């Protein structure tokens, strides 16, 4: 199945995203990630590959004698049954596959789906190495309510592009890019402008603080070239950067693109910063 959407050649040429892997676990967060991935795949005419990982550790746990789990709601212990867990996982995989096929087919995107068994992080990482872009939900199934452990880990180490989608982000809206003036930043900017152009959305360039304040807008304009006039520019100071998630939400931002380095200024706060975003985040490396 191929996309019928006519795309500017430039978009595919400069970003060269051909294959997008989306990690699915049937959680709400991963469904949002799927939607974001499908949108993106349609926009850049890429192939969408779904991945469902059957957690090896969980299977082992269920296999242990006297294994029991504690119900989150009733806080009561109940014994674990390997067969039941397997059925549960198979059901989740079927759900994920159905969701993927629906999303991809409505957008006429080529898709594939596979289920693997192993350690989640490991398998996702392995799949990502074969792809140009990895997409996953920001909130996984790990304890706690902030950004999921898998996402956090992968965010730190993934060499390829990564898109993290919040549980329920706005479907449409402007494309924003956090530009830090580095080479990777230029890539992020170019990708953002391509996406904005192909999706016919306004582009907002946020210029990250890193000491040398002036002339970076000119830099950004230079990168954008003939598209420079179409974007809105905003220079951020440190408090501005911290408040950016709320601002982007208020302005109806539909996608934020940034290079991994752009978040260095935030240090430890970066994970929380990402969890505050209400729009999908595309990290470029």
Partner 1 sequence: MPAQPLAPDALWRSCDPEQFDFKTTADLEVVHEVVGQERATDAVRFGMGIRKPGFHIYALGPEQTDKERVIRKFLEERAAGEPVPPDICYVNNFDESHRPIVLLVPPGKGSELAADMDRVLEELRAALEAAFESEEYQTRRRAIEEEAGEEQEEALSGLSDKAKEEGIALMRTPVGFAFAPARDGEVLTPEDLGKLPDEEAESIKARIGELEAELQQVLRKMPRRQREVRDQVRALNREVAEYAVRDLLDELRTKYEAFPEVLQHLDHVQAHMVENVRQFIARPEQQVPPEMAALMEGAGEARPFRRYQVNVLVDHSESETAPVVYEENPTYQNLIGRVEYQALLGALTTDFTMMKAGALHRANGGYLLLDARRVLLQPFAWEGLKRVLTSGELKLESPRDVLGLVSTVSLEPEPVPLNVKVVLLGERMLYYLLSDLEPDFPQLFKVAADFADDVDRTPEGEQLYARLIATLAGQDELRPFDRGAVARVIERSARWAGDAEKLSVQTRDVLDLLREADYWAGEKGAETVSAAHVQEAIDQWVHRSDRIRERMQEQILRETIYIDTEGEAVGQVNGLSVLTIGGGGFSFGGPTRITAQVQLGSGKVLNIEREVELSGPIHSKGVLILAGFLGGRYAQESPLSLSASLVFEQSYSGVEGDSASSTELYALLSAIGEVPLAQGVAVTGSVNQHGQVQPIGGVNEKVEGFFDICAGRGLTGDQGVLIPASNVKHLMLACRVREAVRTGQFHIWPVETIDEGMEILAGRPMGEPNENGEYPEGSVNRAVVDRLAELARLRKEFGRAAGDGGTDEGGQEGSGG
- Structure tokens that stand for 236 in this block: 């951020």
Stretch that binds partner 1, among 9-17, 143-151, 155-163, 194-202 (CB under 8 A): 143-151
Smallest distance from partner 1 to CB 75, Å: 4
Q: How many CA atoms lie within 13 A of 46 on its CB side?
A: 28
Candidate residues 4, 83, 145, 229; the one interacting with partner 1 per rule CB under 8 A = 145
Q: Which is nearer to partner 1, 73 or 83 (CB)?
A: 73
Q: Which is nearer to partner 1, 45 or 138 (CB)?
A: 138
Candidate residues 143, 211, 229, 267; the one interacting with partner 1 per rule CB under 8 A = 143
- Structure tokens that stand for 11 in this block: 């978009």
Alpha carbon separation from 167 to 26, 95, 101, 171, 203 (Å, rounded): 12, 17, 20, 12, 23
Q: Which is nearer to partner 1, 85 or 188 (CB)?
A: 85
In terms of Cα–Cα distance, which of 26, 29, 85 is closest to 50? Answer: 26
157 binds partner 1 per the rule CB under 8 A: no
Stretch that binds partner 1, among 127-135, 179-187, 192-200, 242-250 (CB under 8 A): 242-250
In terms of Cα–Cα distance, which of 258, 186, 174 is closest to 216? Answer: 186
Q: Which is nearer to partner 1, 77 or 159 (CB)?
A: 77
CA quadruple 141, 277, 97, 24: dihedral positive or negative?
A: negative
20-79 residues in contact with partner 1 (CB under 8 A) are 56-58, 60-61, 63-73, 75, 77-78
Cα–Cα dist 178/204, whole Å: 9
In terms of Cα–Cα distance, which of 38, 46, 128, 50 is closest to 96? Answer: 50
Q: Which is nearer to partner 1, 86 or 98 (CB)?
A: 86
Instruction: Mark residues 248-267: x for contact with partner 1 by CB under 8 A, - for none.
Output: --x-----------------
- Distance between the two ends of the chain, CA-based, in angstroms? 29
Crossing angle, helix 82-106 and helix 56-63, to 10 degrees? 160
Maximum Cα interatomic distance, the chain, rounded to a whole number of Å:
67
Q: Which is nearer to partner 1, 85 or 195 (CB)?
A: 85
82-141 residues in contact with partner 1 (CB under 8 A) are 85, 88, 119, 141
Smallest distance from partner 1 to CB 60, Å: 4
Smallest distance from partner 1 to CB 142, Å: 6
Cα–Cα dist 123/118, whole Å: 6
Contact residues: partner 1, CB under 8 A = 56-58, 60-61, 63-73, 75, 77-78, 80, 85, 88, 119, 141-146, 243, 246, 250, 276
């Amino acid at each position: 199945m191929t996309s019928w959407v006519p795309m500017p050649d430039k978009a595919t040429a400069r970003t060269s995203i051909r294959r997008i892997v989306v990690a699915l676990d049937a959680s709400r967060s991963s469904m949002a990630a799927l939607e974001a991935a499908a949108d993106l795949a349609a926009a850049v005419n890429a192939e969408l590959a779904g991945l469902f990982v059957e957690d090896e550790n969980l299977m082992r746990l269920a296999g242990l004698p006297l294994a029991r789990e504690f119900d989150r709601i009733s806080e009561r212990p109940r014994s674990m049954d390997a067969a039941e867990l397997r059925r549960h996982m198979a059901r989740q995989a079927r759900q994920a596959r159905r969701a993927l096929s629906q999303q991809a087919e409505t957008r006429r995107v080529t898709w594939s789906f596979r289920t693997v068994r192993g350690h989640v992080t490991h398998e996702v990482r392995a799949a990502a190495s074969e792809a140009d872009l990895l997409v996953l939900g920001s909130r996984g199934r790990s304890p706690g309510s902030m950004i999921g452990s898998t996402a956090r880990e992968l965010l730190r180490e993934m060499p390829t592009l990564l898109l993290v989608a919040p549980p329920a982000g706005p479907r449409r809206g402007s494309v924003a890019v956090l530009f830090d003036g580095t080479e990777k930043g230029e890539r992020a900017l170019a990708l953002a402008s391509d996406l904005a152009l192909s999706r016919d959305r306004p582009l907002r360039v946020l210029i990250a603080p890193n000491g040398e304040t002036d002339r970076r807008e000119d830099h950004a304009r230079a990168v954008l070239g003939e598209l420079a006039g179409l974007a809105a520019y905003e220079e951020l100071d440190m408090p501005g950067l911290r408040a950016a998630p709320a601002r982007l939400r208020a302005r109806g931002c539909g996608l934020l693109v940034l290079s991994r380095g752009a978040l260095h200024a935030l240090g430890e706060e970066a994970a929380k910063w990402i969890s505050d975003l209400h729009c999908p985040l595309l990290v470029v490396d």
